[in-house]
Amino acid sequence: METPYPIPITPSHTRIGWIGIGIMGSAMAARILDAGYSVVVYARNPSKAQALLAQGAHLASSPQELAERSDVVFSIVGNSQDVRSLVLGPAGVLSGLKPGGVAVDMTSSHPALAREIFTAARAKECWSVDAPVSGADVGAREGRLAIFAGGDGGVVAWLMPLFKIMGKVTHMGDSGCGQSCKIANQITGGANLVGLSEGLVFAERAGLNLGQFLEAIKDGAGGSRVMELFGKKMIEDDFRPTGFVEYIVKDLGMGLDVVEENEEDDRGRVVVLPGAALNKQLFSGMLANGDGKLGIHGVITVIKRLNGKS
């Protein structure tokens, strides 16, 4: 097919490829399988794919082979370098995807890379969409992710049956805009986490009951989705990851890199993000403390250390 538009997506004839079966990706792929789609997966460590294979998925030996067997390929991996290798590499997705096929990258990656992939896909008469997500592991399991899509609006609309299985998608604009939205989301969410951490540390020092504190503020200006997801866990020192802290350090770093790369506009203005810079340092404190594999809400441990508490 020349474009994805003429043939609607249905479980009976749309083949799905999936790359990335970590905390988020495995749950998202499982939902696609539950919806009746044929799914082929690629994993650098095939043993991690056993649960999906038991659910009916098939295994590919390379991203290229996976793409050859797929109409739509999703990827959600660690970082921009992984995306570049898996999608643009010599045995990558675009080397195997047939004309009209679509590569959907759901990794939190660099906007410039998303635009590069889009250009490379169009040169092969394929399409690409950048569609990073937010909502943690519970959102992935329950199909309640926020999905930020960049790319051709018609292709995003065509993909809607698949996106609806995973959550709610918003088309943010051209290629790269989905990734820019995710970075802005991380800047916002990171600030909320740091604020919640400081609020909890202050409340504890003031002698407040922390559970009562969260209940008291949840419907006020201090309440947030971040508090709903992580507040109780932070009180209980439950820092099991729903997403690794090393990823938010990466995302905040990409945001600061984009700001540094951007030139002044015609009025001499540049973007300055002092809060994001400070918060990146605080989250990086977790890495320095050897806590890079903890959840992002573990940033409260850094605030506690700064206050003399282990």
pLDDT in tens, 267-303: 555 678 999 999 999 999 999 999 988 899 999 999 9
* Residue predicted with more confidence, 47 or 262: 47
Question: Across-strand partners of 15?
Answer: 38
Burial grade of 82 (CB within 10 A; 0-12, 13-18, 19 or more): middle
pLDDT at 56 over 60: yes
The whole-angstrom separation of Cα 197 and Cα 203 is: 10
Q: Do residues 64 and 91 make contact, with C-beta atoms less than 8 angstroms apart?
A: yes
Active site residues: 182
* Residue predicted with more confidence, 246 or 30: 30
Question: Across-strand partners of 17?
Answer: 40, 73
Give the pLDDT score at 258.
Answer: 86
For residue 116, what are the contacts with CB-CB under 8 A and spacing of at least 6?
A: 88
* Residue predicted with more confidence, 45 or 171: 171
pLDDT at 266 over 60: no
* Domains of the chain, each with CATH number or no CATH: 15-174 (3.40.50.720), 181-306 (1.10.1040.10)
Q: How much is the average pLDDT of 126-144?
A: 94
Q: What is the DSSP letter of 244?
A: B
Give the pLDDT score at 207.
Answer: 97
Residue 39 — φ and ψ, nearest 5°?
A: -125, 130
∠ CA 169-137-301, rounded to 5°:
120
Could you give the percent of the chain with pLDDT greater than 70? 95
Q: Which of 5-14, 42-51, 142-151, 248-257 has the highest mean pLDDT?
A: 142-151
Q: How much is the average pLDDT of 137-156?
A: 95
pLDDT in tens, 62-71: 999 999 999 9
Give the pLDDT score at 51.
Answer: 94
Q: Minimal CA–CA distance to 32: which of 84, 65, 86, 70?
A: 70
Could you give the percent of the chain with pLDDT greater than 90? 83
pLDDT in tens, 147-184: 999 999 999 999 999 999 999 999 999 999 999 999 99
∠ CA 288-295-23, rounded to 5°:
125
Q: Minimal CA–CA distance to 18: which of 9, 4, 31?
A: 31
Q: Do residues 241 and 294 make contact, with C-beta atoms less than 8 angstroms apart?
A: yes
pTM: 0.91
Burial grade of 22 (CB within 10 A; 0-12, 13-18, 19 or more): middle
> b vs e for 193-213, b when ≥16 Cβ sit within 10 Å of the residue's Cβ?
bbbbbbbbbebbeeeeebeeb
Give the pLDDT score at 263.
Answer: 53
Give the pLDDT score at 235.
Answer: 97
pLDDT in tens, 190-219: 999 999 999 999 999 999 999 999 999 999
Give the pLDDT score at 305.
Answer: 93
DSSP string covering 248-305, please?
HHHHHHHHHHHHHHPPP-TTS-----HHHHHHHHHHHHHHHTT-TTSBGGGHHHHHHH
Give the pLDDT score at 2.
Answer: 54
Give the pLDDT score at 276.
Answer: 95
Helices first, then strands: H and E counts in the chain: 15, 9
Give the pLDDT score at 104.
Answer: 98
Q: Do residues 297 and 234 make contact, with C-beta atoms less than 8 angstroms apart?
A: yes
Give the pLDDT score at 260.
Answer: 77
Q: How does residue 18 score in pLDDT terms, banded at 50, 70 and 90?
A: very high
